[in-house]
Amino acid sequence: MPPLPGPTAMQAPELRAAFRVEFDFNSAVIRPESRAILDKVAAVMGTAGTTRFRIIGHTDAVGGDAANLALSKRRAAAVVEYLVSRHHIRADRLEASGMGARDLLLPDQPKAAANRRVEIVNLGG
């Protein structure tokens, strides 16, 4: 009887979650009510060993592309800063990026506040 094949490395599926981490219009300051959400996310991150995460900022479609891209990057950086400073998540486990208005949550409502969000993607270990 031939030996059974050994385990093979499989690429883990991308795990993406969108959170209503809210920001005021044209602002990268995390709203106080959104901190509770990030506190829960940080608790999960704290138990995830060396798992890395990408923090992706988004904007609504008000304003120009360059301004929205810069604002979305500032929003992602604000979330990273919060997770690092408040919850001591290692900065080398977090990667901030911005999408601007390129990936609207509600494309049929481009100016909606729901488009101003942060997504967190599990990148694995």
pLDDT of residue 10: 39
Collect the ranges in the chain with pLDDT lower than 70.
1-18
Which tokens sit at 105? 């949550």
Q: Where do the domains of the chain lie, and which CATH numbers do they carry?
A: 15-124 (3.30.1330.60)
pLDDT of residue 124: 84
- Supply the DSSP symbol for 23: B
Residue 91, sorted as left (phi over 0), alpha (psi -120 to 50) or beta, turns out to be: alpha
pLDDT of residue 12: 47
| C-alpha span between 20 and 24 (Å, rounded) | 12
Tell me the pTM.
Answer: 0.84
pLDDT of residue 17: 66
pLDDT of residue 58: 95
